[in-house]
Amino acid sequence: MRESLTVSSPDASFPPGVPARAVVDLDAIRDNVRALRDHAPSADVMAVVKADGYGHGMVPAARAALAGGATWLGVATAGEALALRAGGVTADDARLLVWLLVPGGPFADLVRAGVDVTVAAPWALDEVVAGARAAGSTARVHLEVDTGLGRNGVTPADLPDVVRRARTLEASGELRVVGVFSHLARADEPGHPSVARQSAAFDEAVRAVEAAGLRPDVRHLANSAATLTAPGLHHDLVRPGIAVYGLSPVPQVGAPGDYGLRPAMTLEARLATVKAVPAGEGVSYGHLYTTPRDTVLGLVPVGYADGVPRHASGGTAGPGGPVAAGTGDARRVLRVAGRVCMDQVVLDLGPGATEAAGDVVTLFGASDGVARGADVPNAEDWARAAGTISYEIVTRIGARVPRVYAGKEVQP
């Protein structure tokens, strides 16, 4: 259902009649990957493009990340890996790893497509071998070890047996263990003791794998937060996701600009209606907001079905999500007035507002955030207003919002 318009500059095309759009600056993605390479000069970069490239569009995001020097791509699901291949991202373009598999998954298709598969539990070895046999080739396997996240990954108790069986299967040519990896629980709290504990557990797991005679090419542990704040954890490969899209994984420590990053997505909408109302008027479902004076309301045609979080409603519960309106001297950041509805939100534009129906407002874009004095909010500002993280803001932008690609990296 998503339509993707392709334009060379963000301003070139916002045709009247289009209620909202997410402009994705592919040059920002490319430049963010370059910046991440500078942060981790001794490692290769795996750009994580799961969840439709964190909502930015998986294939365009992958292409831009490769242009920035990523040599690996990472996705969560088999469907995502195969969609990248179907979208023309080949095994020659980049190594591709998928890590969240379930029994009965398309292992043969993955092996045939040259996708590296993760063994994160004992059952997966059998499925990988069956897939390799069906595909008639050798599966490339990364062992995922649970070093303390308590989520996916082989437990330390199961690791010796998994490693022993993997070694046997390697000898008979069904698979090759090309990687060992783990994932951090609290890398977004730099210096937290659990990070050092997980790092030590990872080193131990790598030793066990190598002691069994396996010779993985790559060891990898670092997500965006560790890539930016824990150089000791870079190993051979770093796996940044959110930072590729220009958002800070550690907003309490630094804004995007502090790390040489810039947000790639701008969410804009056109005011559908602008109208004068008297003081004391209840606004939107539940009347969480009442106009404090005679004022002008503006209706923004995006709502929770488009990914605008309902928790960022404004009124009795606190200030709503921020929206930049106006141009020049009239530029200001307003707060959503009242409930976020399925398809729309309301702004109190203020007495004497000069905005008209059809004018463009910006929910978030490429800035370090209004918390840092910017006049355009960023996704982190919305995350704060909704009590969540910027990841959830960008990945949830709905299919009804067209992604418009901008920048030199747009494929013709």
Ligand X SMILES: *Cc1c(COP(=O)(O)O)cnc(C)c1O
Alpha-carbon distance of 17 to 356, in angstroms, equals 14
Strand pairing of 273-277 and 265-270?
unpaired
Q: Catalytic pick from 50, 54, 259, 304?
A: 50
Are the CB atoms for 235 and 184 separated by under 8 Å?
A: no
Least distance between ligand X and beta carbon 221 (Å): 9
Nearer to ligand X, 45 or 129 (CB): 45
Kindly tell me which of 116 and 268 has the beta carbon lying closer to ligand X: 116
Rounded to the nearest whole angstrom, what is the least distance from the CB of residue 114 to ligand X in the complex?
A: 20
Helix (H) or strand (E) holding 54: helix 50-54
Q: Is 242 or 302 the residue whose CB approaches ligand X more closely? A: 242
CB of 392 to ligand X, least distance (A): 11
Q: Which of 254, 246, 250, 255 lies closest to 365, judged by CA?
A: 246
CB nearer ligand X, residue 147 or residue 224: 224
Residue 133, H or E segment: helix 122-135
Q: Are 188 and 250 in contact (CB under 8 A)?
A: yes
Phi, psi of 47 (to 5 degrees): -80, 125
Give me the residues paired with residue 282 across strands. Answer: 290
**Total Cβ atoms within 10 A of residue 387:** 10
Identify which of residues 145 and 162 has a Cβ nearer to ligand X in the complex: 145
The CA distance from 244 to 91, in Å, is 21
Find the shortest distance in angstroms from Cβ 80 to ligand X.
11
Q: Are 271 and 298 in contact (CB under 8 A)?
A: yes
3-state SS, 151-175, equals CCCECCCCHHHHHHHHHHHHHCCCE
- 245 catalytic residue (yes or no): no
Side by side, the strands of the sheet bearing 345-348 are 273-277, 295-300, 345-348
Separation CA 58–CA 73 (nearest Å): 10
Judged by beta carbon, residue 6 or residue 71, the one nearer ligand X is 71
* Three-class SS state of 306: helix
Helix, strand, coil share of the chain (percent; to 5)? 35, 25, 45
Catalytic residue among 54, 245, 285, 405: 285
Pick 182 or 284: Cβ nearer ligand X? 182
In angstroms, the first-to-last Cα distance of the chain is 21
CB of 72 to ligand X, least distance (A): 11
> E-assigned strands of 8-114?
20-25, 44-48, 72-75, 95-98
Cα 242 to Cα 256: distance, rounded to the nearest angstrom: 10
Q: Which residue is nearest to ligand X (CB)?
A: 241
Looking at the Cβ atoms of 224 and 362, the one nearer to ligand X is: 224
| Angle at 231 (CA atoms; ends 227, 236), nearest 5 degrees | 75
Nearest distance in Å: CB 308, ligand X: 21
**What's at 60, amino acid-wise?**
P
Q: Residues 341, 303: contact at Cβ < 8 Å?
A: yes
The answer to whether 285 is a known catalytic residue is yes
Tell how strand 265-270 and strand 360-364 pair up: antiparallel
Site of interaction with ligand X (CB under 6 A): 48, 50, 99, 183, 223-224, 239-242, 249
Q: Which residues are catalytic?
A: 50, 285
